[in-house]
Structure 1
Amino acid sequence: MSAKTKKLTMGALILMIFTSVYGFNNMPRSFYLMGYGAIPFYILSAVVFFVPFAFMVAEYGSAFKDEKGGIFSWMQICVNTKYAFVATFMWYTSYVIWLVNIASGIMIPLSNAIFGTDTTSKWSLFGLSSTQTLGILGVCFVIVVTFFASKGMKNIQKVSSIGGIACMFLNVLLILGALLVLIGNKGQLAQPITSAASFVDSPNPEYGGALAVLAFVVYALFAYGGTEAVGGLVDETENPEKNFGKGLTIAAVIVAIGYSVGIFCVGIFTRWSDVLSAETVNKANASYIIMNNLGYQLGAAFGASTNVCVQMGNWTARIMGISILLTLVGAVFTLIYSPLKQLIEGSPKGLLPEKYCKIENGMPKYALKVQATIAIAFILLVSMGGDTVSKFFNILVSMTNVAMTLPYMFIAAAFIKFKKNKDIKKPFVIFKNDKVAIVFTVLVTATVGFANFFTIIQPAIDGDIATTVWSILGPVLFTAAALILHSRYEKKMAAGKNPDDTAI
């Protein structure tokens, strides 16, 4: 990097971390699951996961700043190629499951943008059920996005920037709207706080047991997702030894407080039993129902007629629908190929099929087609199973959360070998004591591991075998695929067919 290159100030660093980690949807969705009880889990997750994991990533990023393969290179150097490939392949495939989730769920913000409410449970094409219809529409979305992404239409990412601005507006709308409702209702909360238990117990009967509450930890962890991208900012920061750790800590505190304040604001205008107890409410549409309710309660607090309140609610939901739609479309066009390219560039030559690695016009076109085929297969398998819309989205959300957080365990576990390997130059060190590093490594790995364990088994304990099976099946299938590919690579290496073991 040139000495003249402008580096990030601590303020700019904090803003970048905040915008890459903080997600608006996490607040209303968490209130739907846990009510005020979500707040302590967000604070706890910041302490035991977000901050220490981000520090680990910062050390990795600084030590391996010249490596092209990102997290693959980190784990390959610290452990071995097999370990790195399985973890990176799972990380990549978690985005495939995320694509499955988004492709089906994107119809909900579209419905809210058009109608001001979620009408997807009534949608039907060719006599199919609503679940099957959403599956077919999801397949069409994947095909269209893959087609345009393969053409190298990177300008689509500008949509994400517009959506990001719209989502920042949503945060302002949530906080200011909640404060106005509080003023209009003379300080009375819609969701009452009766005692300290209100910040522990969930109003949602599905989250009344100890196992379900523990399973919620994975949602809090998922809200801090994207932390692995922070490491790349170390060498772009002014005076990183002083500013990076401090900026990261401040950002973590702001994100944790931001989530906590947002969840509390939802309780100002939303009484759980009145708004979120219906069977039609699920993890995918809860945010839109809550924002629709904000508009309604804003009108009601200042004496508007019922008709005006309904219209205010619908327009608030439309604003959120448009904002989230723009954000998701931009994110999909970026993430449909960027994790794929990192997997291809990081993998040693010969590990992935040659055809899969071929780049045309800056895009891995064949790999994009394979990726789309896998996503479409998952969408059809889940959507054609005959379950209700609520069940359909709950399965997809569970699959995504488990698949996206499991790779964090691999990255964290490799940190011990990273610290013990004194041959690795470490220009930026936060964990100066190796014993402290081991303690936090175990803490982060155990936190993610237990959170996923409870998330997976809790539905089965409650009789929901399907969600448990699908939560396990996604990561297991892709791990098996990674092991098969690596075994094939080892046989080729042993036979001397591919002596070049350098990164592509």
Structure 2
Amino acid sequence: MEEGEKSAKKLTLVSLILMIFTSVYGFNNIPRSFYKMGYAAIPWYIFSAITFFVPFALMVAEFGSAFKDERGGIYSWMEKSIGPRFAFVGTFMWYFSYVTWMVNVASGMWIPVSNAIFGKDTTQSWTLFGLQGPQVLGALAIIWILVVTYTSTKGIEKIKKVTSLGGSAVLLLNVFLWVGAIAVFIGNKGQLAQPIEGLKSFTQTPNPKYVGNVIASLAFVVYALFAYGGIEAMGGLVDQTEDPETTFPKGILISAAVISVGYSLGILFIGIFTNWESVMGIKEVNLGNASYIVMSNLGYSLGTVFGATQDTAIALGHGVARFVGLSMFLALSGAFFTLMYSPLKQLIEGTPTKLWPGKVGETKNGLPINAMWIQATMVCVMIALVAFGGSSMAAFFNILVSMTNVAMTLPYMFIALAFPYFKKKTEIEKPFVVFKTQGIANFWTWVVVLTVGLANLFCIIQPALEGDIQTTIWSVAGPIIFSVVAWVMYDRYEKKNKDEI
């Protein structure tokens, strides 16, 4: 009976895929990419999938199945492949980027709520107990962080329910996009709102900001890398998965295939019902509302194609915007419940307990509960500083985002660089193998490392070329600062415990 209960709490293949899908696949990335590049975003997504996402996902699958009993996720992989100091620096930088993600998204996730209720973004006019606009969003964000942390500390079962709901919401949103786009395509007798004019449509963007700007286009690769990022966070779930040596790699492979195809098809389908110049090219459209504009336009297009009146078509557009708002909120909730504990779990459980002061490193129900509450406090303080600190704190947060933009993708290089060392170690049992020889492993490692490295280089250079030297400086300073902090922390631990190491 006890054994049955224990296995019931493990993640099944479907639960794992939904968790990966919720954490990696951002529906927002599709309309935003169409807004930035039009059809020209598709080759960059395919390029990033071939040179980064698919090989990196396969590396994660090999690591995960080999270290199926390890609780430390990516830290354990790097530590057992290269060494603890290398692993700690890479994991610490990776973890801190998720803290910034939480600060950013906890305030921004109320925009989908507003769209779900009102059919548009009204957050700037919200008031509550004398608070206004950004302050209300900050207060709601703090409450949200506390609620998610409290629920997450109750164990994997609670998290699984929310992430499954989030994953299902994202799937429904995509099904609606695909089915709706095909219906419009049939209704318009195969005519596209954004015409495809041969190869030019996939190589030249309609966005005047990117036309002729080679560096900006190459920097878009980092955007694609962000869109594919997060699969490594699932490393902390290997020990929570049923039959991990087969289920985990299978879940990674299925998710990687669906996500890679899903992004490119999604961008193509948007062009069926959205003309870039007339819908996306107006000044009211920005990265924040692009998703709602696109999907509202899908509702409107469905109405007009099938003979609805103007008023009915507009009402249908608002209805779709509400559906998108609700779906996006559920998807972000699912991502929050996974990312609230998974990166921290890998950082705490993989590293030596004595690295952390007091009871920070203790775990309960398989989760680092004390560390989760410290994390929640840190995130809430940062949200409060940004929401209530005026323009100087808003500028501080912009600096923080710049610092983590590059720091968020650099750890992929750390994980990839550890892979050839992992392959060389014959003493590590490898139940799942894709890269059959050391030469193939080395080749794909360098493909991934060069893709991430060059994309980050262009991402760092671009702001400076456009006159924004400060963003370039902080983009470089971020990884250096995080690396130095992690190095000093590990140095102190090593000196204090040199007899035991």
- Answer whether TM exceeds 0.5 for this pair: yes
1:303 to 287, 304, 307: 307
* Cα gap change, 1:116 to 1:465, in 2 (>3 Å): farther
84 and 375 in structure 1: CA distance in 2 versus 1, 3 angstrom threshold: same
Match of 1:286 in 2: 290
Quote the residue 2:376 is aligned against.
Answer: 372
Query: Are positions 1:28 and 2:31 aligned together?
Result: yes
1:299 alignment partner AA: G
Partner in structure 2 of residue 482 of structure 1:
486
1:113 corresponding residue in structure 2: 116
Partner of 1:412: 416
CA contact (8 A) 2:184 2:302 kept: yes
Change (3 A) 1:385 1:219: farther
SS of residue in 1 equivalent to 2:197 = coil
Match of 2:204 in 1: 201
Aligned to 1:221: 225
- C-alpha change, 1:443 and 1:68, in structure 2 (3 Å) is same
Evaluate the alpha carbon distance shift between residue 257 and residue 207 of structure 1 in structure 2; reply closer, same or farther with a 3 A threshold.
Answer: same
Residue 293 of structure 2: SS of its match in structure 1?
A: helix
Report the alpha carbon displacement of residue 462 of structure 1 after superposing the two structures with TM: 1.8
Pairing of 1:135-214 with structure 2 (within 5 A): 135-150=138-153, 155=158, 157-208=160-211, 209-214=213-218
CA distance in 1, matches of 2:161, 2:16: 21
Amino acid at match of 2:278: D
Q: Cα 1:257–1:307, aligned 2, differ >3 Å: closer, same or farther?
A: same
DSSP-derived class of the 1:87 partner: helix
Paired residue for 1:435?
A: 439
Deviates more, 1:294-303 or 1:276-285: 276-285
Deviations 1:157-203 (A, max 9, x none): 42332232222111111011112222333322222222312112222
Task: Give the unaligned 5+ runs of structure 2.
Answer: none
Change (3 A) 1:286 1:319: same
User: Residue 264 of structure 1: CA displacement?
Assistant: 0.7
* Maintained 8 Å contact 2:26/2:227: yes
Output the amino acid matched with 1:100: V
User: How far 1:128 sits from its partner (Å)?
Assistant: 7.5
Amino acid at match of 2:340: I
Task: Give deviations 1:324-353, integer Å, cap 9, x for gaps.
Answer: 212222332332123222221111121122
Q: Residue 160 of structure 1 contacts residue 328 of structure 1 at CA under 8 Å; is this kept in 2?
A: no
Residues 1:273 and 2:277 are matched in the alignment: yes
Correspondent of 2:104 among 98, 101, 106: 101
Q: Which stretch shifts more, 123-132 or 330-339?
A: 123-132
CA distance in 2, matches of 1:467, 1:359: 38
Residue 47, structure 1, aligned to residue 57, structure 2: no
Do the aligned partners of 2:30 and 2:263 also contact (CA within 8 Å) in 1? Answer: yes
Distance 1:321 1:185 in 2: 27
Q: Distance in 2 between matches of 1:493 and 1:161?
A: 42
**Cα deviation per residue 1:52-79 (whole Å; 9 max; x = unaligned)?**
1122222222332232322111111111
Number of aligned positions between the proteins = 489
When residues 103 and 469 of structure 1 are mapped into structure 2, their CA distance, relative to the original with a 3 A threshold, is: farther
Aligned residue identity for 1:57: V
Q: C-alpha distance in 2, partners of 1:57/1:479?
A: 23
| Aligned position for 2:84 | 81
Shift in CA distance, 146/15, structure 1 to aligned 2, threshold 3 Å: closer
User: C-alpha distance in 1, partners of 2:16/2:373?
Assistant: 36
Structure 1 residue 482: Cα displacement? 1.7
3-state secondary structure, aligned to 1:66: coil
Deviation at 1:81, TM superposition (A): 0.8
Q: Which residue of 2 aligns with 1:317?
A: 321
Deviations 1:396-444 (A, max 9, x none): 8766653432211100011122223333333433222212211111110
Structure 2 counterpart of 1:108, which letter?
I
Q: Which amino acid aligns with 1:273?
A: E
Aligned to 1:355, the other structure's residue is in SS state: coil
Shift, 1:141, TM fit: 3.0
Q: Percent identity of the aligned residues?
A: 56
Q: TM-score, normalised by structure 1?
A: 0.84
1:332-343 equivalences under 5 Å are 332-343=336-347
Deviation at 1:261, TM superposition (A): 1.3
Q: Which deviates more, 136-145 or 411-420?
A: 136-145
Query: Which whole-Å CA distance do the structure 2 matches of 1:147 and 1:158 have between them?
Result: 15
> In structure 2, how many angstroms separate the alpha carbons of the residues matched to 1:174 and 1:51?
24
CA distance 1:157–1:213, shift in 2 (3 Å): same
Q: Deviations over 1:289-313 (max 9, x none)?
A: 2111111122122333332222111
Write the distance in 2 (CA, Å) between the matches of 1:318 and 1:468.
Answer: 38
Change (3 A) 1:428 1:223: same
For residues 466 and 312 of structure 1, what CA distance do their matches in structure 2 show? 44
Cα–Cα, structure 1 residues 234 and 259, in superposed 2: closer, same or farther, change >3 Å? farther
The alpha carbon displacement at 1:14 in A equals 7.9
User: 2:96 aligned with 1:61, yes or no?
Assistant: no
Specify the code of the residue in structure 2 equivalent to 1:118.
Answer: D
User: What value does the CA root-mean-square deviation take over the aligned residues?
Assistant: 3.7
Ranges in structure 1 where 5+ consecutive residues have no aligned partner? none
**Structure 1 residues 463, 157: CA separation in 2 closer, same or farther (over 3 Å shift)?**
farther
Q: Does 1:426 align with 2:430?
A: yes
SS state at 2:206 partner? coil
8 Å contact kept, 1:101–1:396? no
Return the alpha-carbon distance in structure 2 between the equivalents of residues 474 and 132 of structure 1.
Answer: 27
